[in-house]
Structure 1
Amino acid sequence: MNNKIRTIIIDDEPFSRDELKFLLENDSDVEIVAEADSGEKGLEMIMTKNPDVIFVDIEMRQMSGLDLAKTIQNMKKIPLIIFATAYPNYAAKAFRVEALDYLLKPFDEEQLQETMKRVKDRLSFNEKNEQTSPIAKLAVEDEGRIVYLSPSEISYLYREERETIICTKDRKFSLKAPIKELEEKLKGYPFFRTHKSYLVNLDKVEQLIPWFNGAYQLKVVGKKDEIPVSRNYVKSLRAHLEL
C-alpha cells in the first residue's frame, strides 16, 4: 500500500465524529478527506472524494447508514464500509451489505486498531491483485459453456462424492477439482475451511448456530442451507469473524 488511506467519517453526532477523527489521526497511514453529518451529504462526499474507506453511523435522520451502504453497491469502486454505531443489533444487516467491520460506540482504541489492520490488509491485497492479476476468476462449465465466477460471487463450496459443488446466491456449479485445490486457488480471498468438505466465503456469513458436542452450523446471506462447522475450526472461525 503506497498511499495514505483516504477516509470519510459520516455521522450526525458531532461528538462522535470528533472522537473518531481524533483516534484515526493517530494512525500515520490515514488521511481524513471529508466529514459529513448526514447520509445524503456522505453520499455526495463519496462520489466526489473517492475514499478508500468510510466510517458510517447506522441510525441517522432520513438516509440511514444501511441505506447509504446499499446505495453505493453499484459504484465502480466501492469503498470499504465500517459501521460505527451505538446499536449492536444491526450487525447481521450490516454484513448483508458486505461491511468489512462493525464498531460499537464509545470507541475502543484497541478495537479500532484491529479494524485498521483489516482495512490495510484488504487494501494491500486489492492493490497487489490489481497489479498482478487484473482479471482473476474461477472457470466452471455450465451446459457446455465456460462461466467465469468472481470469488466475491461464491457463497461457499463443498465436496460431494467426486465433485466439488460451488454455490453462488442463485446458482450451483460442479467441478471435478478437489476442494483442496480450489482452496489454494482462492488464497488471498476471505475463504475459510469450516469442515473437511466445506469452504465458506466469510464475507457472506450471516449466522453461527450452536449444534451439538461443540460443533456449530453457519448460515450465509441469501441461502437457506446450514453449513457444518467442525468443533476443531470453531475457535479460529470466531477469531476471523468477530471484533
Structure 2
Amino acid sequence: MKKTIKAVIIDDEHYSRDELTFLLKRYEEIDIVGEADSGEKGLEVIMRKDPDVVFLDIEMPQMSGLDLAKALQNMKHIPLIVFATAYADYAVKAFRVQALDYLVKPFDEEQIDEVIKRINERMSPSSHEIESITGIGKLAVEDEGRIVYLSPKDITYLFREDRETIICVNERKYSSRTPIKELEEKLKEFPFFRTHKSYLVNLDKVEQLIPWFNGAYQLKVVGQKEEIPVSRNYVKALRERLEL
C-alpha cells in the first residue's frame, strides 16, 4: 500500500478547485486535507494541516501563488509545490521557487498522472536511497531562461556572492538563488566540503592546499585559476577528508 500523501489545493476559482479535486480523488494515496481561495487563507491552511504537497494557482489577488511559494521556503517542513495555472509563461519563475511541477489549465488526466508519479517518487524513501547510492541525481539550475541539469561530479565548487550562489563547472559559471546551505544538503551524498561559510568544494577536484596566513589556507582545484579560501577552523577536518 502506498503512503498517504496530504494535499492542499489553493485557487481563487471555485470551478478550478472542484476540477482538480475530482481528478485527484482517483488516486488512493492522495488525501485532500484542505483548500483555500486566496494566498492568505492558503498559508493559514498550510500552517494548520502541514501538507506534503500544495497545488497552487499563480495569479490570485493580493498574495500571488509565487509570493506564497516564497513564504513557504521559511517553513521547517516545506511542502512540495505543484503550480496549477492557466499561464504557461510562469515556468521559469516557478523553477526559482523550487516547484516540483507545473500544471497548465485545463487539466487533463495524463498531466495529473505524471505529476502524481513525480510526487510518489519524491515521497518514497526507497527511491531516495537508490538515487543517493547510485548518484544519478542531477542539480537543476537556470541558464538564460532554460533549466540545465548538472552532474554533481562535474561541479568544481560553489560560492555565495551577494544574493546568489555561483556554481562553477569547468570554465562555465551558473547562478542560483538557492542558498548554499540548501545546496550543501542536496549534495551531501557527494564528496563536497564546506571550506568557508561562503564556499563549498568538490574534494575530487582538489589539487593543492596552500598555506596563506594566520593558520588559514587556500585550495587549488582542477581547471580553475581562482584559489579557494579555507578558514582555519576547517583545515583539520579538510585534511582528514583528503589524506590517506
Q: Structure 1-normalised TM-score?
A: 0.57
What residue is the counterpart of 1:166 in the other structure? 157
Q: In terms of Rg, which structure is larger?
A: 2
Residues 179-213 of structure 1: per-residue CA shift (max 9 Å, x gap): xxxx9x55xxxxxxxxxxxxxxxxxxxxxxxxxxx
The secondary structure found in structure 1 opposite 2:77 is coil
Deviation at 1:166, TM superposition (A): 2.8
What residue is the counterpart of 2:18 in the other structure? 18
The secondary structure found in structure 2 opposite 1:21 is helix
For residues 170 and 69 of structure 1, the distance between their equivalents in structure 2, rounded to whole angstroms, comes to: 20
For residues 45 and 101 of structure 1, the distance between their equivalents in structure 2, rounded to whole angstroms, comes to: 21
The secondary structure found in structure 1 opposite 2:124 is helix
Residues 76-134 of structure 1: per-residue CA shift (max 9 Å, x gap): 110000000000010000000000000000001111111000000001148965xxx9x
How many corresponding residue pairs? 159
Are residues 1:74 and 2:74 paired? yes
Superposed counterparts of 1:144-183, under 5 Å = 156=150, 165-167=156-158, 169-170=164-165
Superposed counterparts of 1:19-168, under 5 Å = 19-125=19-125, 156=150, 165-167=156-158
Checking the alignment, whether the CA contact within 8 Å between 1:158 and 1:166 is kept in structure 2 is no
Residues 129-175 of structure 1: per-residue CA shift (max 9 Å, x gap): 5xxx9xx9xxxxxxxxxxxxxx9799846778xxx60335535689x
CA RMSD of aligned residues (A): 3.5
For residues 56 and 32 of structure 2, the distance between their equivalents in structure 1, rounded to whole angstroms, comes to: 13
Query: What amino acid maps onto 1:31 in structure 2?
Result: D
- Cα separation, partners in 2 of 1:30 and 1:94, compared to 1, 3 Å: same
Checking the alignment, whether the CA contact within 8 Å between 1:157 and 1:167 is kept in structure 2 is no
Residues 14-72 of structure 1: per-residue CA shift (max 9 Å, x gap): 00000000000010010000010000000001111000000000000100000000001
Query: What amino acid maps onto 2:165 in structure 1?
Result: D
For residues 153 and 20 of structure 2, the distance between their equivalents in structure 1, rounded to whole angstroms, comes to: 45
For residues 86 and 78 of structure 2, the distance between their equivalents in structure 1, rounded to whole angstroms, comes to: 24
Checking the alignment, whether the CA contact within 8 Å between 2:11 and 2:37 is kept in structure 1 is yes
The secondary structure found in structure 1 opposite 2:156 is strand
For residues 31 and 159 of structure 1, the distance between their equivalents in structure 2, rounded to whole angstroms, comes to: 38
Percent identical among aligned pairs is: 55
Unpaired runs of 5+ residues, structure 1, are 137-150, 175-182, 187-243
For residues 35 and 75 of structure 2, the distance between their equivalents in structure 1, rounded to whole angstroms, comes to: 20
- Cα separation, partners in 2 of 1:19 and 1:156, compared to 1, 3 Å: same
Checking the alignment, whether the CA contact within 8 Å between 1:156 and 1:167 is kept in structure 2 is no
Larger RCO, structure (CA 8 Å, separation 6 or more): 1
What residue is the counterpart of 2:3 in the other structure? 3
Residues 198-235 of structure 1: per-residue CA shift (max 9 Å, x gap): xxxxxxxxxxxxxxxxxxxxxxxxxxxxxxxxxxxxxx
